Structure 1
Amino acid sequence: MNLKVSKEAAEWYKNEMDLKQGDYIQYYVQLYGGIPTVHPNYSLGVSIGKAENIAIKDVVEGITFYFNSDDAWFLEEFDMEVVFEKEELEFIFHKK
């Protein structure tokens, strides 16, 4: 149950969302629509978050990327990697 965000992906978030060092990006589980995942009928949403209820995190380029404890189940059997390749974010799930 790990989250890894590449430096290039963190830079993309910083530029696209006008983030500053010390900001938080929360990944959250939603039904349908959004970032496709390995869980049928579930997808990921992304929002600027807060420093509370953090269960899984990775700090890159001064930005904390995380899942809160309500959504941590989503990575119970997986590690998630966020990379930026070919001018696009890619979300990779690795089965444990």
Structure 2
Amino acid sequence: MSHAAANWYIDELGLKSGDHLRIFTKIYSGIPTVFPGYYLGISIGASDDAHFKAKVAGITFYIPYNDDWILNDYNLRIDLKDDEAQYNFTEVS
């Protein structure tokens, strides 16, 4: 998670220091991924089910255990491009 993308989420969603943003997989609509038919969704709220997490600008961004399969063969970096979050998957070497 880049600082620019974290700040974009903070501004767009009105997040405050200490908030949590869940990134999860869903089928058929949302943010396209490298997995055909699967997309990413987001929701605000803490969970004890956080597997992968990063704290940036006071916000915890996380992927829950049941969606961690998207990172088995890929790294995910979230950047900001053209004033929108951009989800970049790169193969793990």
Is TM (by shorter chain) over 0.5? Answer: yes
2:55 corresponds to 1:55 = no
Aligned identity (percent) is 38
- Unaligned runs of 5+ residues in structure 1 are none
Return the letter of the residue paired with 1:37.
T
What CA distance in whole angstroms lies between the structure 2 residues aligned with 1:79 and 1:37?
Answer: 12
Aligned-residue offset at 1:95 = 0.4
Q: TM-score, normalised by structure 2?
A: 0.95
Aligned-residue offset at 1:49 = 2.1
RMSD: 0.8
What CA distance in whole angstroms lies between the structure 1 residues aligned with 2:10 and 2:55?
Answer: 13
Aligned length: 92
What CA distance in whole angstroms lies between the structure 1 residues aligned with 2:19 and 2:36?
Answer: 30
| Aligned equivalent of 1:7, options 3, 6, 11 | 3
Deviation sequence 1:53-80 (CA, Å, 0-9, x none): 1100111000000101111111111000
Aligned-residue offset at 1:7 = 0.2
| Aligned equivalent of 1:93, options 45, 70, 89 | 89
Higher helix share: 2
Show the counterpart of 1:76.
72
- Unaligned runs of 5+ residues in structure 2 are none
Q: TM-score, normalised by structure 1?
A: 0.92
Runs of 4+ in 1 over 4 A off after TM superposition: none
